[in-house]
Structure 1
């Protein structure tokens, strides 16, 4: 079982007696110069109360060229510490900015915060890791293009979430990825997938190119450090309608099947969201009921017509206790409407209501928060089985996790489990035991997580469908990074 440590792991230079690392950090200081920094006292807390790892320093470059030079310094067989890269570090619930293992040097890419290029005609932007979804969405305001935003804070990184295969309200963020600029462990810079070529006429955005595609070799990866991404920007719909439907626990399976049917037949747009009886209280639902939010987009005439069809079918099927168009005066509904329209500007109010703190204070002062994120088949039986596991956990532990069903396609659900707890050692230990139990129960049912937290990185072998495939990835790591310039990540 994993549990938070009572004593903080040592951070900074006092934790390191390696003269080679000291020389490397001195070389890095000269590379970074006055615009960046090398901090010897990294942050030592995270909202999930995972054990803080030993981090010897935080390096903060501001350009891709600096990242290349830093990697060349760490591409040294005599160094015992590798680089752990992150963007804004707001990977809340999964470890925030913590590395998976001890004895790392953090590479904070938040200072690489430029939108390098933007094409509203062809629908793409080239952004660096420090660009937040709020900043990019603001650039697109009033245009025909939008960002597929998540329900997380506006201060979270676009690139960071894509690289961890996060989920937006329109689709999974991996579908937004067109190309990557990556610095390899020896400092070489490569671009994979689609990338704009200066001086050439605009080309169609086609991520796969010719021959083997290397694009997703660098998502959930410790094979390189991403310094920019080409991100697709969906067309902004002319009109949007939000519908809200409630149903009780005994109708979970048939209600989910009905939602799946509507999605399969193209009646809804984007991700279908269903909040369970715990989560629904934060999203405007009735006590003791599940709450579904559906988005319908199109022209004004088609969106209105589809919304009317859905409401009529919802009334006729008899599965829902209520169904109607959402009240735009409700703060939660306003947040959901804005996120579906590509605006995360209302998200932080929900964040503060949930965790009690603004984004920059969540890790130090926010309420305790853990995520567990398995994929589940999108049908009534699959979702009911998954929800039954949460009920079993509650019976065993007395802790009632919340969950949100994100219908990504007619076949696939992102079943997000949230575990809230007070920031005390005893409450944290109990919450982490619940997280461990969720991993065990869901794995036994064949429901595999699509993202891992820092304490469950060791589950990768158990969760991978083919040992030979995982061994191939590890051979690639040894070939590309023989000196371990990049520290092993959560998916190593």
Structure 2
């Protein structure tokens, strides 16, 4: 790890560590280099100085930890399960932050089948909740991501991540948040305690505060109410495949029409050749769109016919149960693997495949220690063929100039918006590879932003480059809110934070 930065007061950190040991117990506090060594292993190849890590298992422990941090002016950085791969993993944005490991806060507090909601703590993983639903509420399922079973639901929602059925933030029904002084805030109707609308209607009375506590550093989420989905009587997973690179604009434009008309109601994911080969083992296709149609048996059949007729003569259309217009064993195998994800069962397969480009195969739990480095860029674009083509061309031109072949997926967020997941992988056995890849991805953010493609989510290395308060009333307002809710800047300094106001460290 890096040496202690000059602006970190080591005496205050040492005093805080002693206070935490007394309040939380020795087993909850790690402050020696051996215990912290695993933090240096991260998929992005980043380096940060972390003086200590606290393992938090209860809300009361978190309250005590924050009160001590505030008393000693020591900044802290919360992580749910620390699997923010390619964007920083468990590392803070800046040096000198004590990591608050919330993976021990792993209770499913509420499962309300009538309201179709689960209230979960930060350490609850999507695999854990999926297993709970399978056992206790099999008619319901979760909007899971393409990431591993062991990833946090709350952590992903806090970053406004993307699920296979749509943006995860759309599933949010309420938040419980702890401020730096130990105060607990519950949003929507949750804070009333007796409202029938709690966890059913998100907004409550007065200002809607949910959004304020996502992609911010105003407080620490201690629980979230997550909307669940009923399993439809008919569910069909489809693939629309084209073999010519130049067919992408037409593929995107026709998909938009189907989304606008409601023929496709869940998110569709459009994979490029690199992603298809590395993650799904599908060769010889330039672009493949994968999604699902669900509803009544009659409605699904009609939607399927609309989808097939739309792409007749343009693309091969397949479903997970059989072939309509083409025979492609590799693609059929990919559909069979993806179908459970679209029905709420997460898998480790995609993450494991991504992490084995260099070196031996690894389990999803070993991504940060693997030989494959991973960095992400996550821009937003218009749901038009021309925008998709332009973004892909800019991305490939830039990355290839650095010697990298990016993998690209275009994800439908709504009927007018796409989000791109772009990853660059590198060989971590080469000491020079991580800085070179980081330079490439930093430059890609700049190139795309200059062309109007702004990111929807940032990694720890790009916060300071893309979030600035100069002449921007939005970020000035965000900084003012921070100065009121966390005047000492204790919680996650510089995380989606334009500058430091009134900090004492």
Flag whether TM exceeds 0.5 (same fold): yes
Instruction: Indicate the residue corresponding to 2:401 in structure 1.
Output: 396
String of CA shifts for 1:444-488, please: whole Å, max 9, x gaps: 1111001111111112335x8971111111111112212222131
What is the alpha-carbon distance in structure 1 between the residues aligned to residue 188 and residue 151 of structure 2? Answer: 24
Instruction: Indicate the residue corresponding to 2:354 in structure 1.
Output: 354
Q: Quick check: 1:442 aligned with 2:439?
A: no
Instruction: Indicate if the aligned counterparts of 1:260 and 1:410 stay in contact, CA closer than 8 A.
Output: yes
Instruction: Indicate if the aligned counterparts of 2:57 and 2:104 stay in contact, CA closer than 8 A.
Output: yes
Instruction: Indicate the residue corresponding to 1:312 in structure 2.
Output: 309
Instruction: Indicate the residue corresponding to 1:452 in structure 2.
Output: 458
Gaps of 5+ in 2: 323-328, 357-361, 498-505
Instruction: Indicate the residue corresponding to 2:59 in structure 1.
Output: 64
What is the alpha-carbon distance in structure 2 between the residues aligned to residue 114 and residue 25 of structure 1? Answer: 27
Which TM-score applies when normalising by structure 1? 0.91
Instruction: Indicate the residue corresponding to 1:235 in structure 2.
Output: 230
Q: Quick check: 1:420 aligned with 2:425?
A: yes
Instruction: Indicate if the aligned counterparts of 2:143 and 2:165 stay in contact, CA closer than 8 A.
Output: yes
Instruction: Indicate the residue corresponding to 1:256 in structure 2.
Output: 252
Instruction: Indicate the residue corresponding to 1:294 in structure 2.
Output: 291
Find 1:275's aligned residue among 271, 275, 290: 271
Residues 478 and 209 (structure 1), Cα distance of their counterparts in 2 relative to 1, 3 Å cut: same
Q: Quick check: 1:151 aligned with 2:157?
A: no
Instruction: Indicate if the aligned counterparts of 2:20 and 2:29 stay in contact, CA closer than 8 A.
Output: no
Find 1:265's aligned residue among 257, 261, 277: 261
| TM-superposed deviation, 1:366 | 4.5
Find 1:214's aligned residue among 209, 215, 221: 209
- Equivalenced residue count is 475
What is the alpha-carbon distance in structure 2 between the residues aligned to residue 72 and residue 32 of structure 1? Answer: 12
What is the alpha-carbon distance in structure 2 between the residues aligned to residue 465 and residue 241 of structure 1? Answer: 49
What is the alpha-carbon distance in structure 2 between the residues aligned to residue 406 and residue 20 of structure 1? Answer: 46
Instruction: Indicate the residue corresponding to 1:343 in structure 2.
Output: 345
Gaps of 5+ in 1: 1-7
Instruction: Indicate if the aligned counterparts of 2:218 and 2:485 stay in contact, CA closer than 8 A.
Output: yes
Which TM-score applies when normalising by structure 2? 0.89
Instruction: Indicate the residue corresponding to 1:109 in structure 2.
Output: 102
Find 1:21's aligned residue among 13, 35, 53: 13
Instruction: Indicate the residue corresponding to 2:487 in structure 1.
Output: 482
What is the alpha-carbon root mean square deviation over aligned residues? 2.3
| TM-superposed deviation, 1:16 | 7.5
Find 1:323's aligned residue among 317, 324, 331: 317
Instruction: Indicate the residue corresponding to 1:205 in structure 2.
Output: 200
The secondary structure found in structure 1 opposite 2:229 is coil
| TM-superposed deviation, 1:196 | 7.9
| TM-superposed deviation, 1:36 | 3.5
What is the alpha-carbon distance in structure 2 between the residues aligned to residue 404 and residue 334 of structure 1? Answer: 19
What is the alpha-carbon distance in structure 2 between the residues aligned to residue 196 and residue 232 of structure 1? Answer: 18
String of CA shifts for 1:116-164, please: whole Å, max 9, x gaps: 1110111111100000000001111152221110000010000000000
What is the alpha-carbon distance in structure 2 between the residues aligned to residue 397 and residue 200 of structure 1? Answer: 56
The secondary structure found in structure 2 opposite 1:384 is helix
What is the alpha-carbon distance in structure 2 between the residues aligned to residue 125 and residue 252 of structure 1? Answer: 38
Residues 108 and 291 (structure 1), Cα distance of their counterparts in 2 relative to 1, 3 Å cut: same
Instruction: Indicate if the aligned counterparts of 1:279 and 1:404 stay in contact, CA closer than 8 A.
Output: yes
What is the alpha-carbon distance in structure 1 between the residues aligned to residue 379 and residue 65 of structure 2? Answer: 36
Residues 288 and 227 (structure 1), Cα distance of their counterparts in 2 relative to 1, 3 Å cut: same
String of CA shifts for 1:346-380, please: whole Å, max 9, x gaps: x2123222213212211012411111000011011
